[in-house]
A and B are shown apart, each in its own frame.
Chain A
Amino acid sequence: GENVEQHPSTLSVQEGDSAVIKCTYSDSASNYFPWYKQELGKRPQLIIDIRSNVGEKKDQRIAVTLNKTAKHFSLHITETQPEDSAVYFCAASINGNNRLAFGKGNQVVVIP
């Protein structure tokens, strides 16, 4: 089955700096890669996603890049702000269908 690995497990950055989280996946049939932000005690919120026919996608301060050959994708947050502090989960579709396998999450702390 799909195995999604997420690194690093924790990341601290100074406010205004950039943060990068990387994920790798194992299933070559995976074709959908969403990123979720989860604040303590709340539901995960989709922040950006990318499909396998695209290499990069950007939405304001957030971008995602995908390398299908290497089977990894990354989340980039620029100009970080304290409200970006949360746990971020990457996910990959399983067998190219609508089920998702999640990474273990990354705790991002933005230091004011």
Chain B
Amino acid sequence: GAVVSQHPSWVICKSGTSVKIECRSLDFQATTMFWYRQFPKQSLMLMATSNEGSKATYEQGVEKDKFLINHASLTLSTLTVTSAHPEDSSFYICRVQGLGDYGYTFGSGTRLTVV
């Protein structure tokens, strides 16, 4: 099956700093990557959809200037949380889709804690 790597698995940062999260597809070309946020004991909320080589599409209510997404290659997408605040603390997880399917594979997730 598809292998998706997400890094880092956890990170603690100070308020006001920025954090970059990477999502890599290791054994297939990811045409589309989806970024989700999951608060404790809650569901996965879609934040944005990124297609290789084009600008990300953000869901309503998600600030594009705060959550910067770059999908520069078919194997890598990055999410940068800029000027992080404690309320940004959450579990961020990517989902990857290859050609011709809906994409069954999630990354391992990143636990972000902003102090």
Most buried by A among B46, B49, B102, B105: B102
Please give me the residue from chain A that is nearest to B103 by CB atom.
A98
Provide the residues of chain A in CB contact with B43, threshold 8 Å.
89, 102-105
* B54 CB-CB contact with A under 8 Å: no
CB distance from A88 to the nearest CB of B (A): 11
CB distance from B37 to the nearest CB of A (A): 11
* Inter-chain CB contacts under 8 Å: number: 45
Q: Are B46 and A43 in contact (CB under 8 A)?
A: no
Binds A, one of B11-19, B73-81, B106-114: B106-114
Q: Are B49 and A102 in contact (CB under 8 A)?
A: no
* B89 CB-CB contact with A under 8 Å: no
Query: Which parts of A57-86 form the interface with B (CB within 8 Å)?
Result: none
Please give me the residue from chain A that is nearest to B9 by CB atom.
A41
* Chain A residues within 8 Å of chain B by Cβ, number: 20
Query: Which parts of A82-112 form the interface with B (CB within 8 Å)?
Result: 89, 93, 98-105
Provide the residues of chain B in CB contact with A1, threshold 8 Å.
60
Please give me the residue from chain B that is nearest to A46 by CB atom.
B104
Provide the residues of chain B in CB contact with A93, threshold 8 Å.
102
Q: Are A105 and B102 in contact (CB under 8 A)?
A: no
Interface of A (DSSP majority class) = strand
Q: CA–CA, A42 to B45, complex, Å? A: 16
Please give me the residue from chain B that is nearest to A44 by CB atom.
B106
Q: Are A99 and B93 in contact (CB under 8 A)?
A: no
Given known pairs A46-B104, A98-B102, A99-B34, the reply for A104 and B46 (CB within 8 Å) is no
Contact digits for A18-60, partner B, Cβ 8 Å, 1 yes 0 no: 0000000000000010101000001111100100000000000
B: which residues have CB within 8 A of A? 32, 34, 41-46, 49, 60, 93, 95, 97, 102-109
Besides A43-B109, A98-B102, 12 new A-B residue pairs in contact (Cβ under 8 A), listed by A number: A1-B60, A32-B102, A36-B106, A42-B109, A43-B93, A44-B44, A44-B93, A99-B34, A99-B49, A102-B44, A105-B41, A105-B42
